[in-house]
Every structure is written in structure tokens, then in C-alpha cells.
Amino acid sequence: MDLVFIGGSLRPGSFNRRLMGFLAQEVTLLGHSARVFAGEDLRLPLYEDAAAVPRAVAAMTEALRGAKGAVIVSPEYNAGIPGHLKNAVDWLSTQRPSPWTGLPVLLAAASPGAFGGARGLISWRATLANMGAWAAPGAITVPRADSNLAADGTPIEERTILEITRTLESFLAMTERLARG
């Protein structure tokens, strides 16, 4: 099953980019394919109706249209959606047909705080619903990411690993069921 990963902050060593790399690797180990869009893929001009579609948006659109599901790994900026990710999603939502319609999406976040970025994921649910995507009821959050993520994104705490595994496997099972109709 093909999955698309979008997210992380623009900073190469960010907690969320590390988490996204770990999640993409886990999906691959489970026999699925993972296409990752991060960093420079998300350095897009601000969305403007009359502007030409950037190549990165065209590539993300094509990947999402061929995918059975997506994972958005989002930093939490002031308890909300970071501008660069919202801008990318806005660009994608204007493509016809929209690649978001009916697409299952798993939300994930990592933060040095106690909530693991969970507050920022709340806004994503309304955005995804408005675009016709299906936001999975569970989410992956990694609190205290500064001490709970290794340099390669692997969670250090056993409890975090178990929670990620449970949530990821649940999302994959639901996505496979939806793909079968």
C-alpha cells in the first residue's frame, strides 16, 4: 500500500522530521511504500489563486492521488498549524480533482512539551474535514521529544514505542479496509 508523508519543520534536524523518518521507516518495514515530502518540498510561495502551480505541489498532488493514505507530521506553533504546512495543504486543496477527498490521514506530532504537539493537531482535524479527507480518530504524539527521540527519530521510552506501534497499525488496518471498499 502506498502512503505519503508530509511534514516536519523546515529545520533539517527538527523533532518532527526525525519522527516522520522513523514512521516512514516503520511503514516500509511493514511492507508498505512511503513517499516523504519535507524541507525543501514545503518551501513554497504563498498560495495565490492566479499563480502557477509549483513543481513540488504537482509532485505531492500526484503522489497523494496514487496513495491509499497520508501521514501529516506537524510541529505545533503556538498551539496551531505551522504556516509552511498550512500553505502546502492549501496549494494541494486547489488541485482538481482534490487529492484530499476521501483520503485517510493519520496525524502525528513531536514536541519538547508535555503534550507532544497534541494541541496543534486539533486544528488539523477541522482543516482535513473541510477538504473531505478522513482524519483517523487516533493520533501519534511524542511528548518530551528532546529526551524521548534518538537522533534517527526512534523513540526512547518503551511506552511511546508501544503507543506509536498501536496507532500506526490501527491506521494501516483501517486504510487497507477502506481501500478494499
Question: Tens digit of pLDDT for each residue in 92-115?
Answer: 999 999 999 999 999 999 999 999
Read off the CATH number of the domain in which 13 is found. 3.40.50.360
The whole domain housing 24 covers: 2-180
**Full-model pTM:** 0.96
Among 152, 141, 138, 119, which residue's Cα sits nearest to residue 26? 152
Q: How many domains does the chain have?
A: 1
- Range 147-156, long-range pairs (CB < 8 A, 24+ positions): 149/15, 149/18, 149/19, 149/22, 149/110, 151/18, 152/18, 152/21, 152/22, 153/17, 153/18, 153/19, 153/20, 153/21, 153/22, 153/23, 153/25, 154/22, 155/22
pLDDT at 11 over 90: no
The confidence score (pLDDT) of residue 181 equals 78
